[in-house]
Amino acid sequence: MQFGIFTVSDITADPTTGRTPTEAERITATVAIAKRAEEVGLDVFALGEHHNPPFWSSSPTTTLAYIAGQTSTLQLSTATTLITTNDPVKIAEDYAMLQHVSGGRADLMLGRGNTGPVYPWFGQDIRQGLPLAVENYELLHRLWREDVVDWSGKFRTPLQGFTSTPRPLDGVPPFVWHGSIRTPEVAEQAAFYGDGFFANHVFWPASHTQRMVALYRQRYEHHGHGAAAQAIVGLGGQVFMRRNSQDAVRDFRPYFDNAPVYGHGPSLEEFTQQTPLTVGSPQEVIDKTLGFRDYVGDYQRQLFLIDHAGLPLKTVLEQLDLLGEVVAVLREEFAKNRPAEVPDAPTHASLVTAKYGDAAPRQATPNANRGDNLTVGSPYQDTETVDAQEKPQSGSAFGPAATRQGATR
Amino acid sequence: MTAKKIVVVSAGLSTPSSTRQLADRLAADAVSALAERGVEAEVRTFELRELAHDITNHLLLGFAPPRLEEALDAIASADGLIAVTPIFTTSYAGLFKSFIDVIDPQALTDLPVLIGATGGTPRHSLAIDYAIRPLFTYLHAVPVTTGVFAATSDWGGSEGDGVRSLPDRIFRGAEEFADLVERTDRSQLVNDPFQLDRPFGHLIGGLAGE
């Protein structure tokens, strides 16, 4: 089972000091948080995507690529990548790049986004949110699996003979999670493709998460990807810890009371009762988190939200130190009575093994540029199509010589 | 035959409130009108005052705390709704509208509704028709033509405004309401917000072949 943290990248005033960090400070702090996450033994760091203040993470792959260079084992993911307003072609390219530079440590979580104006800002219509998510992902899915894609749909310029580069690392696309709070179509989408399903779980009662995960598992089996118990489930969670419970409640309350989303709403006590939020000792976090399994079954990925609402970097790093201890216990406890047929969260290594067994994975090697920037047959030497068997042409890559057919034969 | 489920929502703010009193009378007449038709009915009453904090939290967070969820579930699977609000500043009370705003937009479809309202003077009586009725028609509920407005003066003297007394109007509204409630089978339908409207294969153009 994988454990990690996810951040929405909010820049929020610290209610205890009134001071708002700068964008530069929060970006630097986030890198420090990700590095500490690896140091304390966490597996995953996932980053949100937003296109308006007070959030900073407009370009997650840039940040994640830098973090990849600063870490060695940390799995890098998103929470979420906007499948509605991003061009699926650019997602295909960006995340394949991230896969390569991170050495296969990248996956991503797709979501529709919850900021209305982002749709018009990126030329889309929010009323088409679900159809956009469906069509864009279908294209993304193909771009990572087919070297040459001819495609036309409702929302995007058609593609003729398009190749998304670089090809996925070792011929294996990044694993995809589909994130949702309460849209059953998204659970169905994840099940249809045999992808992972991530339940936000943070701001909502457990009953919603339970229903959504049950639907996903049932449909995963229906679509023939395996038994319901083998579906790939991730959950959010939110914690604030001190060695003893009263200190945690005292220290977190001002952040809770003023937090974006739930601040000025229910009391801390009501909210911890109704949602997965745990404010207390490490043992309380362990107990509550282990309880998640009771209503979603054995699952694969647990991410915690620990750095929002204006919590200063120092506090967040303290949280990570405690979380490292908590996760060590959770790993042992979750492993107990876990049925053998329940898989771990897919990693690049496991996906390569699943696809190639002991054989060497694909290493995409392009043919020479034929100058027309369009693909006829396969553009790659290593794929077995008629074109790929042809002798590579030599000669000019650009200019008239490049387009002169057979000029060099 | 199973009993018809009638939910009463009262948005009165004081205790005791004339809004609650009107709600109770509408409910009592509706139950006897149904009884005359040989139909049993059970009534559940929700005071929005008691749910006020939950309603605000729902507006802020997007989910209902348990007590509010109980009320929303009851309405979603009701055979009839008796909705009564005070008229404040020419329209329904803000609390009443906030409650309507947290109801799932599909949850009131085909629901028979009997509207009641209270106010200081009869001059606000049209608020039922220009403010409250459009709310329910927008949500595809079915408000009966008679809405019952009770001004302060209606509570004294059986003549009311001299045209039709309050008890007469309550009786008439309850009769119209009972006619619709008798015919509906809403409470027997299964409401599943997590149900898929259609298989995913259709969403992406028949790829699944379902």
Per-residue pLDDT tens over the stretch A84-135:
999 999 999 999 999 999 999 999 999 998 888 999 999 999 999 999 999 9
Q: Does B63 lie at the interface with A, CB-CB under 8 angstroms? A: yes
Q: Please, what's the b/e burial string for A278-313 (b: 16 or more CB within 10 A of its CB; e: otherwise)?
A: bbbbbebbbebbeebbeebbbbbbbbbbbbbbbbbb
Q: What is the DSSP letter of B112?
A: E
Residue A401, pLDDT > 80, answer no
Residue A163 has pLDDT above 90, yes or no: yes
Q: Report the pLDDT averaged over residues B171-199.
A: 86
Percent of chain A topping pLDDT 70: 92
In a domain, A114, yes or no: yes
Domain-located, residue A360? no
CB-CB under 8 Å, B65 with A134:
no
Please indicate, yes or no, whether residues A115 and A168 belong to a single structural domain of this protein: yes
pLDDT tens digits for A41-97? Answer: 999 999 999 999 999 999 999 999 999 999 999 999 999 999 999 999 999 999 999
Q: Is residue B61 part of a domain?
A: yes
For the entire predicted model, the pTM comes to 0.87
Judged on CB neighbours under 10 Å (0-12, 13-18, 19+), A220 is buried
Under the banding of pLDDT at 50, 70 and 90, the label for residue A143 is very high
Chain B: closest CA distance from residue A117 (Å): 19
A265 with B193: Cβ contact below 8 A: no
Are A307 and A395 within one domain?
Answer: no
B195 touches chain A (CB under 8 A): yes
* pLDDT value at residue A354: 96
B194 in contact with A, Cβ within 8 Å:
yes
pLDDT at B182: 97
In a domain, A23, yes or no: yes
3-state secondary structure of A117: coil
**Out of A185, A205, A211, closest to residue B196 by CB:** A185
Are the CB atoms for A9 and A306 separated by under 8 Å?
no
Average pLDDT over residues A335-341: 95
Query: What letter would DSSP give residue A265?
Result: S
pLDDT value, residue A376:
61
Q: What is the pLDDT of residue B207?
A: 43
Q: What pLDDT is stored for residue A389 in this prediction?
A: 40
Minimal CA–CA distance to B9: which of B78, B106, B88?
Answer: B78
Residue B208 lies in a domain: no
In a shared domain, residues A310 and A382: no
Mean pLDDT of A287-297: 96
Task: Report DSSP letters for A267-309, one per residue.
Answer: -HHHHHHHSS-EEE-HHHHHHHHHHHHHHH-S-SEEEEE-S-T
pLDDT 10s digits, B114-165: 999 999 999 999 999 999 999 999 999 999 999 999 999 888 865 655 668 9
Looking at the structure, do residues A169 and A212 belong to the same domain, yes or no?
yes
Residue A390 and residue A325 share a domain: no
Residue-number span of the structural domain to which B58 is assigned: 4-203
Instruction: Tell me what pLDDT residue A390 has.
Output: 42
State which amino acid sits at residue A382: D
Burial B167-192, CB ≥16 within 10 A → b, else e? eebbbbbbbbbbebbbebebbeeeee
Q: Are residues A247 and A391 in the same domain?
A: no
On whether both A110 and A41 belong to a single domain, the answer is yes
Counting residues of chain B whose pLDDT is more than 90, the rounded percentage is 78
The tokens of A367 are what? 């043919």
The separation between CA B34 and the C-alpha centre of its own chain, rounded to angstroms, equals: 17
Q: What is the mean pLDDT of chain A?
A: 91
Q: Is the pLDDT of residue A305 over 50?
A: yes
Verify that A187 and A126 share a domain, yes or no: yes
- The structural domain count of chain A equals 2
* DSSP string across A155-213: SS--EEEE--SSPPGGG-PPPEEEEESS-HHHHHHHHHHT-EEEE--SSS-HHHHHHHH
Amino acid at A378: S
Structural domain of residue A373, as residue ranges? 365-409
Closest CB to B63 among A188, A189, A205: A205
Q: What is the DSSP string of A33-87?
A: HHHHHHHTT--EEEE---SSTTB--S-HHHHHHHHHHH-SS-EEEES-EETTTS-
Residues A351 and A378 in one domain: no
Q: What percent of chain B shows pLDDT beyond 70?
A: 88
Which pLDDT does position A114 carry in this prediction?
80
| A178: confidence class by pLDDT, cuts 50, 70, 90 | very high
Same domain, A403 and A340: no
Answer yes or no: is A390 within a domain: yes
Per CB-CB distance under 8 Å, the chain A contacts of B63 are: 203-205, 208, 274
Tell me what pLDDT residue A386 has: 42
User: Which residues does chain B have within 8 Å of residue A204's beta carbon, measured at their own beta carbons?
Assistant: 62-63
pLDDT 10s digits, B41-71: 999 999 999 999 999 999 998 889 999 999 9
How many A/B residue pairs have CB atoms within 8 Å? 57
- Interface check for A257 against chain B (CB to CB < 8 A): the answer is no
Residue-level pLDDT at A399: 44
Q: What is the pLDDT of residue A150?
A: 94
How far apart CA B174 and CA B82 sit, in angstroms, is 9
Do A287 and A387 fall into the same domain?
Answer: no
Task: pLDDT band for A181, please (50, 70, 90 cuts).
Answer: confident
- For residues A205 and B140, give the distance between their C-alpha atoms in angstroms, rounded to a whole number: 28
| A188, A204, A264 ranked by CB distance to B200: nearest | A188
Looking at per-residue confidence, does B209 or A274 come out higher?
A: A274
In a domain? residue B127: yes
Look up the CATH number of the domain holding residue B69: 3.40.50.360
Q: What pLDDT score does A378 carry? A: 77
Q: Which of B61, B203, B207 is nearest residue A203 as measured by Cβ atoms?
A: B61
pLDDT (0 to 100) of residue B107:
94
Tell me how close the Cα of B52 comes to any Cα of chain A, in angstroms.
Answer: 12
Same domain, residue pair A247 and A378: no
With an 8 Å Cβ cutoff, are A185 and B200 in contact? Answer: yes
Q: Determine the pLDDT at residue B192.
A: 72
Cβ distance of A274 and B203 shorter than 8 Å? no
Token pair of A283, please? 């043992």
Q: Which of A138, A182, A211 sits opposite B204 (nearest CB)?
A: A138
Helix (H) or strand (E) holding A95: helix A88-101
Q: What is the pLDDT of residue B206?
A: 43
Which of chain B's residues have a Cβ under 8 Å away from the Cβ of A270? 57, 65
Q: State whether residue A67 sits within 8 Å of chain B by CB.
A: no
Among residues A329, A355, A381, the one where a domain terminates is A355
Q: Assign residue A345 the CATH number of its domain.
A: 3.20.20.30
Which residues in B lie closer than 8 A to residue A261 (C-beta atoms)?
A: 61
The larger pLDDT score, comparing residue B143 to residue A386, is at B143
CA angle A226-A232-A236, nearest 5°? Answer: 160
- Judged against a pLDDT cut of 70, whether residue A405 lies above it is answered with no
Burial class (CB in 10 A: 0-12, 13-18, 19+), A100: middle
What is the per-residue pLDDT across B3-48, written as a single tens digit (0 to 9) for each?
A: 999 999 999 999 889 999 999 999 999 999 999 999 999 999 999 9
Q: Are strands A108-111 and A44-47 parallel, antiparallel or unpaired?
A: unpaired
B145 in a structural domain: yes
Structural tokens at position A133: 């998510």
Domain total of chain B? 1
